[in-house]
Structure 1
């Protein structure tokens, strides 16, 4: 039986909507940074410095000390950073629309399931930020208050790049077609189910780069951009397997520098 070719008009609409969602998420993050008086490196101006110094236990309304606003911020950040990394996966599924019984409803399901997993992760890391904030480990802007936390995070995430868990999760993210062929489900519900699985492996692969936000500030747009670029490269079939461990070595070296620099400078 002849399989139907993908509808080019529907394809255009869906892909444009997908990229518009990414651009909207980045715009919201930029607008939030400007409203908080932060530059692109997450460094506070006068108002931002006052915000960073606030005690979360003070009796005043501080959005960055409440779960709801923090969760919304992290959810938007997940969209801005992780949706670009999904492009190779969605392209792989699109190939199956023309060569198998994939559908655009299934394509949307994969996107939805993947997004649900990262929204769940956003809830977890927002809770972690609140715990760190009230414990004095990070300030109101999510910046580590001690070089031990910042350096330790860099070393831990760098070391994770060399682990078997990283290799397994990266293998799935690096070859989404293999995952689809081994876990194929049809229709929207099937797409959601596959998206949930892919999202879980993606969290296992990339959680560390989200946690690194505490090393330089969770509203550091420059870090967000560099982390997104690296995670996109890591998932490309041609170069993904080449960059993982060198990045781990760079992160470990950066952590060592962060831990030793205050001692060398007498800080």
Structure 2
């Protein structure tokens, strides 16, 4: 890539920093909301629109630190042809497309939480098996071809970004972000499913998963680390039916969820 295609170092730093600031602000919002709720089963009284809003904020908090390098790399690819304001708008479209992909997965999570919440309400003893199944699914997914394929893309997206340059200009950046977001969902969906037993608003669990996702994608030994995480989840799957403390998201406790303000 020729130097003319690169953003100035100052603008690259601004783009990187902005995404990290957005992630920090999202964490502050999530932590503030978590103060008003316990960790329990189901959707904790949230309707679908409010749940999706909270899910998108959670996605920004957990995913933007690891997706920032991809957004900045895309900014490098488009840097020569646009003004600073236009580049900012295009990066915003990339981020918007990325969040659309995760919001679509949020619909699936909402359905899972509704079903598991109803089941635990009527048959509390099933919670331990739901938790074991979630940990087992997450552990096995760490070793699947889909995980490996999507993780390779997330770790080295440059080749795919070159292909994106061939997209038609109309809504290209939105489509690029959504396409990358789908790879990210394919890489991380099972990790997010463990929030069902650990609790959707479990801040410690969210922070731990965010660290796992960041290391998987950015550390040079990320694939090895991913396998280790898979083994840990398989161990948790064996322990879950006998250790209720591993399943705070499948037990009724704490105050009811209050709508976000």
Q: TM-score, normalised by structure 2?
A: 0.78
1:246 to 228, 235, 241: 228
Structure 1 residues 1-267: aligned runs within 5 Å: 3=4, 5-7=6-8, 10-36=11-37, 38=38, 42=39, 52=40, 64-97=45-78, 104=87, 105-136=89-120, 146-185=127-166, 189-236=171-218, 238-261=220-243
Give unmatched runs, 5+ long, in structure 2. 245-261
Shift of the 165–144 alpha-carbon distance from structure 1 to 2, 3 Å rule, reads farther
Deviations 1:9-64 (A, max 9, x none): 6545444432221111111111111122x4xxx4xxxxxxxxx59xx9xxxxx962
Deviations 1:99-128 (A, max 9, x none): x76872443332221121112222331232
Instruction: State which structure, 1 or 2, has the greater radius of gyration over its C-alpha atoms.
Output: 1
Aligned position for 1:265:
none
Q: CA deviation at 1:94?
A: 3.5
Q: CA deviation at 1:192?
A: 1.7
Runs of 4+ in 1 over 6 A off after TM superposition: none
- RMSD over aligned Cα, in angstroms? 3.1
Tell which has more relative contact order, 1 or 2 (C-alpha 8 A, sep 6+). 2
- The whole-number CA distance in structure 2 between the counterparts of 1:144 and 1:19 is 41
Give unmatched runs, 5+ long, in structure 1. 43-51, 57-61, 263-267
Shift of the 97–234 alpha-carbon distance from structure 1 to 2, 3 Å rule, reads same
- The whole-number CA distance in structure 1 between the counterparts of 2:221 and 2:61 is 22
CA contact (8 A) 1:111 1:195 kept: yes
Deviations 1:131-150 (A, max 9, x none): 322333699xxx99611111
Q: TM-score, normalised by structure 1?
A: 0.77
- The whole-number CA distance in structure 1 between the counterparts of 2:142 and 2:51 is 27
